[in-house]
Amino acid sequence: MVFQTYKVKFLIIDNLFVLSQLNSSPETIRLRNNMKSKIAFIINPFSGTGKKEDIPALIKQVLDPKLFEPEIVFTESRGHGTELAKSFVDKGFNIVVAVGGDGTVNEVGRSLVHTNTSLGIVPIGSGNGLARHLGIPMNTKKAIHQLNHSEPILMDYGLINKRPFFCTCGTGFDAYVSTEFAKGKKRGVMSYIEKIITGYFSYKSQNYHLQGEGIDLNTKAFVITFANASQWGNNAYIAPQASVQDGKLDISIMSNFPIIAIPTLALQLFAKTIDKDLFMTTLRSEKITMIREESGPFHYDGEPYEEGKEIEIQTIADGLKVLVHKRY
């Protein structure tokens, strides 16, 4: 009788363990089984303005060695982050961390979509729009420390003529400024503001035709932003209501405005209220086609490119695992 009682208890405990494994994330299961996560850090030495040589030592100092087995590499050229990230996915790494700005996040993230490898972010760029949207600290040490207390969520990403973006993409004045900023040797916020001020007087708006689900709009615009996340970066909220988990893009259209309106627009941009301004129109769609008068600058995740007259933009729901601070 005693033997039967112990046997029943053992079966109950065993079944509870199996159920707990089924209801747990892979990260939790690894911890229960005393397995470390393989984590790679891809550092862009050209992002932002600070020194990057000390980051590997900081990672080793702050990252919890009980949880992670880290590997640290530096990018050597544009596009190298994509190659490195793919190699880590192929090696079965659990997490790949982009150490850089939104451009670095884009390079790394495009190799992680629709895989079991999670994207981590340590923001050291000029704008850091996606990191800010996700609540990741701007302090490098704090961002690394948060990885010790993080969990993966599924987020949407966008495609611009089949190229991935994760924060925002767009055309108009912001694409023009991104192009001019990329040409310059100076980095940082003040350099970006300088390009905005000088560019305002030389930029000429275009006419656009937008077609999508219930959308057929002809407009002349100063800026058109297709937002997966809510901001350009530096807490400039061009699409305050945008979410990376709603399966939609927020399309923020800023029409031409007089110079006297600049202070108000700037305040609204940082106060998360620009979508209420009379010079703004906001649309929402899963997929949209934009036709413009001529080819020219276009940006995605802050990186400038040349695109043609007709551009197709769409969102892909739940396509990327990204690390955020644990909610519970």
Tens-place pLDDT, residues 195-254: 676 667 778 899 999 999 999 999 999 999 999 999 999 999 999 999 999 999 999 999
One-letter amino acid of 168: T
The predicted-structure confidence for 271-289, as pLDDT tens digits, reads as follows: 999 999 999 999 999 999 9
Phi, psi of 38 (to 5 degrees): -80, 120
Please tell me the predicted confidence (pLDDT) of residue 27.
Answer: 53
Contacts for 96 with CB less than 8 Å, ≥ 6 apart: 39, 40, 42, 85, 88, 89, 108, 111, 112, 117, 118, 119, 120
pLDDT higher at 325 or 188 = 325
Whether the predicted pLDDT of 94 surpasses 70: yes
Nearest-angstrom CA–CA distance, 265 and 74: 39
Q: Inform me whether the pLDDT recorded for 2 exceeds 80.
A: no
Per-residue pLDDT for 16 more than 60? no
Contacts 24+ apart (CB under 8 A), 16-20: none
Residue 26 has pLDDT above 90, yes or no: no
Residue 177 has pLDDT above 80, yes or no: no
Mean pLDDT across 25-38:
64
Q: What is the mean pLDDT of the chain?
A: 88
Q: Dig out the tokens for 216 from the structure.
A: 């057929």
Q: Over 70: is that where the pLDDT of 322 sits?
A: yes
pLDDT band at 270 (very low <50, low <70, confident <90, very high): very high
Residue 15 has pLDDT above 80, yes or no: no
- Residue 8 is predicted with a pLDDT of 41
Region 103-126: mean pLDDT is: 97
Per-residue model confidence (pLDDT) at position 128:
96
pLDDT at 199: 67
Please give the pLDDT value at position 11: 45
pLDDT at 194: 66
Confidence bin at 175 (pLDDT 50/70/90): confident
Architecture of domain 2-160+321-325: 3-Layer(aba) Sandwich (3.40)
pLDDT of residue 22: 42
**pLDDT higher than threshold 90 for residue 68:** yes
- Residue 119: beta bridge partners? 96, 322
What pLDDT shows up at residue 191? Answer: 65
| Token digits of residue 74 | 């530096």
Domain boundaries, the chain: 2-160+321-325, 163-315
Instruction: Output DSSP code: residue 165.
Output: E
Q: Which two tokens stand for residue 259?
A: 């110079």
206-212/168-172 β-pairing: unpaired
Q: What percent of the chain has pLDDT over 90?
A: 72
pLDDT exceeds 50 at position 169: yes
pLDDT at residue 186 in the model:
61
Domain 163-315 in CATH 2.60.200.40: yes
